[in-house]
Amino acid sequence: MSTLEPSAGPATNAQLRRERLAAVAQSYGAAIVLVLFLIMGSVAFPTFPTLNNFANIATQSSFLLIVSVGMTFVILTGGIDLSVGSVFALGGVLAAYGSQLGVFAGLGLPLLVCGTVGLLQGLLIAYAKMAPFIVTLAGLLGVRGLVLATTNSGSTTPLVTDPAMIAIGQGGIAGRYWWRSWRSSSARCS
């Protein structure tokens, strides 16, 4: 004995419009919301759509770009790294401590130590066949503990006094700031 399922009738125009609208929202929803926020910000705050503000936003969020590009490669290769934020914080603390000895120590110390942390985690994952989740979770906790111990729970981080490190930290190298150079070169082109 066979049973026939009732057939759905032809789609109405309203249903087709809803489906098309849902498809557009799914494909372009984030871009539409971004444009709406840009318009609202420009209307509410006259200084929002200025080049200086966009340069400031780019500078303030540049570290997110660096971390997200690295994490993209990790995820594309089927891995996971939970210790990224802690290692990033350790790099900042070590840069502050290293800058007391000069710009090369301020740049080299975090690269050396954080690179070693990454190498050790990679070796445990690749050669000891340990799960990346477990290794990087342990790295997250261990490195966070190291940061807290080094800074006395955040209360004793040294101030950066080296002028070259200050310039690099503010977005410049050798006294030139990228956003000023970009602004002046774009003004010459127009």
Is the Cα dihedral 92, 98, 100, 102 positive or negative?
negative
Total-model pTM: 0.66
What token pair was written down for 47? 């200084």
Is the Cα dihedral 33, 38, 40, 41 positive or negative?
positive
CA dihedral angle for residue 161, residue 167, residue 173, residue 175, rounded to 10 degrees: -100
DSSP 74-113: HHHTT---S-HHHHHHHHHHHHHHHGGG-HHHHHHHHHHH
Residue 46 · residue 99 · CB < 8 Å: no
CA angle at 178 for the pair 174 and 179, rounded to the nearest 5°: 140
pLDDT classification of 4: cutoffs 50, 70, 90? low
DSSP 47: T
What pLDDT score does 175 carry?
53
What pLDDT score does 45 carry?
92
What pLDDT score does 105 carry?
86
The average confidence (pLDDT) of the chain is 82
Query: How is the chain split into domains, by residue range?
Result: 13-45, 62-159, 163-190
pLDDT at 182 over 50: no
pLDDT classification of 177: cutoffs 50, 70, 90? low
What token pair was written down for 135? 């290794």
How far is 149 from 40, CA to CA, in rounded Å?
A: 44
What pLDDT score does 124 carry?
94
Per residue in 113-128, pLDDT (tens digit) is 999 999 999 999 999 9
Report the run of H or E that residue 44 belongs to, with start and end.
helix 13-44
What token pair was written down for 140? 């997250």
